[in-house]
């Protein structure tokens, strides 16, 4: 597992300075479907490669080729095996972002927000600074 974690964090795998962790640190950018057993549909695989469903090792390869602008790893390589195994460990503890589908409706603090009636999702929300849930809001870091 240590080798997979090392590779996951290594920007030298890419041609553009990205590592797997660049996008996925703390579970970021994993979609809710990441919690499902593979194979399953992944938007990036479908949109960019026309694949209706992928296995985890295929998704690792897609990330290598697309965002990381690298050559695909050998299918029988220890690097692909290690990255896939490490990513599988991340999957076991993954909790989908409750705000991914609809950041306004899914806000777990919405009921506690005294400014909620003034549309907390409005770009010029006058209550944004007064929101007592801002520190607890899992959507706060999203732009």
Domain ranges of the chain: 2-93, 98-143
Q: What is the pLDDT of residue 1?
A: 93
- 93 phi and psi angles, rounded to 5 deg: -105, 5
Domain 2-93 has CATH 3.40.50.720: no
What region does 19 belong to: left with phi over 0, alpha with psi -120 to 50, or beta? beta
Which residue ranges of the chain lie beneath pLDDT 50?
103, 106, 120, 142-143
Q: Given this model, what pLDDT does residue 121 score?
A: 55
Q: How far is CA 14 from CA 11, 45, 65, 87, in A?
A: 6, 18, 9, 17
**What pLDDT was estimated at residue 137?**
54
Q: What pLDDT does 7 receive?
A: 96
Res 129: pLDDT = 56
First-last CA distance in the chain: 33
pLDDT of the residue at 9: 95
- Supply the pLDDT for residue 53: 96
């Amino acid at each position: 597992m240590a080798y997979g974690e090392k590779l996951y964090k290594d920007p030298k795998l890419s041609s553009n300075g990205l590592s797997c962790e660049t996008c996925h640190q703390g579970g970021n950018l994993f979609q809710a479907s990441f919690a499902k057993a593979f194979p399953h549909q992944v938007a990036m695989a479908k949109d960019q490669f026309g694949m209706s469903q992928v296995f985890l090792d295929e998704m690792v390869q897609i990330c290598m080729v697309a965002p990381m602008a690298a050559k695909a790893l050998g299918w029988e390589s220890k690097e692909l095996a290690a990255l896939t195994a490490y990513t599988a460990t991340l999957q076991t503890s993954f909790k989908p972002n409750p705000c991914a589908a609809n950041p306004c409706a899914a806000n777990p603090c919405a009921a506690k927000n005294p400014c909620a009636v003034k549309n907390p999702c409005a770009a010029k929300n006058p209550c944004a600074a007064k929101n007592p849930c801002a520190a607890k809001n899992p959507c706060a870091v999203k732009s």
